[in-house]
Amino acid sequence: MTYADLEFLGEDTLVKVIPKITIDTTLQLLDQEVGPFMAHDREGVEVPFFVARQMQDLKWVYIQRPEWLNPVQLAAKIAEEREQSARLSELPPKFWELALLYLSEEETGMIQQEKKEIVSLLETLMQLRRDKITSDAKKIDSSFRHIQLTNLSQVEIMELRPQVLGLMNSYSALELHTMEDL
């Protein structure tokens, strides 16, 4: 699976939009209906991200930023990640994919400085999580039988897969040589 594949899967995630126009009927998608849309309804409507992007391009809606994608929440998540040195903190589903999709949008309603701050916080969070994963991997010795990695995102699994496969191949080769020596 590639980053493009993960981004594609992330586009199916429901996000909240604030309608700018009224559409009294529902829109029929392949697997669901969305709507109706009432102009300036602060409650918003949940639609898949790919639909939200198209509707925003048509100036029909404003894509509401997820609560977790703001500097205060990201700083709190970083603090939580630092406090929990033994395990990864839990992230919302499709966290990295949605963050990248949202930040790639032109009309996010964010000023450039805030966008830079969010990108910096996301980079810090990702590096903390990578360091934790790498540190745990280094603790593995030849006596391991399984590894439990809780709260990994799809992006982290994709990044980790080649290293784990290499580790497993090395372990298998070591075990094979040990058995041959007996």
Give CA angle at 50 (47, 52), nearest 5°.
50
Output the pLDDT for position 147.
Answer: 62
Boundary-marking domain end, from 12, 46, 63: 63
pLDDT over threshold 90, residue 112: no
Q: Are 1 and 162 in contact (CB under 8 A)?
A: no
- What's the number of domains the chain is made of? 2
* pLDDT digit string, tens, across residues 131-179: 888 877 666 655 555 566 788 888 887 877 777 667 667 666 766 666 6
Boundary-marking domain end, from 19, 38, 63: 63
55-68: burial string, b at 16+ Cβ within 10 Å, e else: bbeeebbbbbbbee
- On whether both 53 and 77 belong to a single domain, the answer is no
Give the tokens for residue 115: 């966008």
Helix or strand holding residue 18 (H, E)? strand 14-19
- On whether both 13 and 84 belong to a single domain, the answer is no
pLDDT over threshold 60, residue 59: yes
Boundary-marking domain end, from 63, 80, 98: 63
- On whether both 46 and 85 belong to a single domain, the answer is no
Confidence of residue 85 (pLDDT cuts 50, 70, 90): confident
Confidence of residue 182 (pLDDT cuts 50, 70, 90): low
Give the tokens for residue 177: 């040589």
- On whether both 42 and 110 belong to a single domain, the answer is no
d(CA 103, CA 118) in angstroms, rounded, equals 9
Q: Are 61 and 49 in contact (CB under 8 A)?
A: no
pLDDT more than 90, % of the chain: 51
* pLDDT digit string, tens, across residues 11-36: 999 999 999 999 999 999 998 999 99
